[in-house]
Amino acid sequence: MRTQVGIVGAGPAGLMLAHLLHLAGIESVVLENRGREYVEKRVRAGVLEHPTVELLRETGLGERLDAQGLPHHGFALRFDGVDHRVALTDLTGREITVYGQQEVVKDLIAARLGAGLAIEFEVTDVSVHDFTSSRPRISYVDAAGVAQTLECDIIAGCDGFHGICRPAVASELSFYERAYPFAWLGVLARAAPSHEELIYTYHDRGFALHSMRSPEITRLYLQVPPDESLDGWSDDRIWDELSARLSADGFTLTTGPILEKSVTPMRSFVVEPMRHGRLFLAGDAAHIVPPTGAKGMNLAIADVRVLASAASAFLREGRTDLLDAYSDTCLRRVWRAEHFSWWMTSMLHRDPAGDPFDHRLQLSQLRYTASSTAALTSLAENYVGLPFGAPS
């Protein structure tokens, strides 16, 4: 087979790249080792930055987003049992939208299939070849068990942290990473949100986050040790701990059946460069951020926006300047998001190895941030997302 861009991975990065390329008149093939049902039900991030929302609307993907997404004009920093509102729209003129990653994936899949373009689900034995030449190849076994070879001009590695593309060029990359001494125990519950906005809570017992996915579904998180087992967390224990950490005057936590539970270790991870030859890494294949800053999916979308423009200039005009600049362009935004996510994480989580001095420093940072218009503005403009192309 032959195409212009071979895309490994049908998450938000790979699917959005394919969508942008299609709008630019560029052919692509998307390969995914999971089935469609799994991909569409995989619960991940839920906060869309303002630039991400604008891009989805501009590219014809705004109908369900506008009907079902929940615009948020602020969120609460809760500490000392008191809420301090970060007024996102008042401070920046922009807002975020709560709309699950799996919903974005559904919209992208529907758009691609609706345009008569295929996605190769349930492929196996994927490997990339000859990416330092002008004729890179992807070999794989399709869902019917038939070995295939896909020749292309560019390979996009959008296959996540555990994918095959980054390991194929690992010897050519520099790795930067940090592991955190805690994880998030996340639950999805059939319960109406207890507050109209997100609540980021700093508590003596550890961090907690109140979020939502719809008017009927709540998403909640607890800080736990990185090796925590779910076996010790009954539904009752989870609700009791959430109630303790989220406690505040006038606040009542709404409870309900817990639909899903998971423990997610927290890490920061970046590789440089995000390109080797004709192989380009995007999204989680190139970088991971702690979820505290809500940047993961938004960074993936930002990456492929840059890559789609660069690929289009190369394939339609023969220009190589944007491809050559791809890694540096993306990494400026990546490192800004890494810093913001690290800062939010460090300010809000209790380090189990910390001491009373650390605790007082965190409270000082929280109190300053909540009382300073300049600090709140900096937090808000990073949280809603810097405009595409803005200096970082």
Alpha helices in the chain (DSSP H): 12-23, 36-41, 50-58, 63-68, 88-92, 101-114, 165-168, 235-245, 296-317, 321-348, 356-371, 373-384
Dig out the tokens for 332 from the structure: 């400026």
Q: State how far the Cα of 160 lies from the Cα of 137, in Å rounded to an integer.
A: 19
Q: Which residues contact 328 (CB under 8 A, 6 or more apart)?
A: 273
Q: State how far the Cα of 206 lies from the Cα of 32, in Å rounded to an integer.
A: 37
Q: State how far the Cα of 242 lies from the Cα of 239, in Å rounded to an integer.
A: 5
Dig out the tokens for 81 from the structure: 């049992």
Say which residue the tokens 């979308």 belong to: 301
Active site residues: 72, 200, 291, 295, 383
Pairing of strands 217-224, 174-190: antiparallel
Sheet hosting strand 96-98, strand order edge to edge: 47-48, 96-98, 70-72
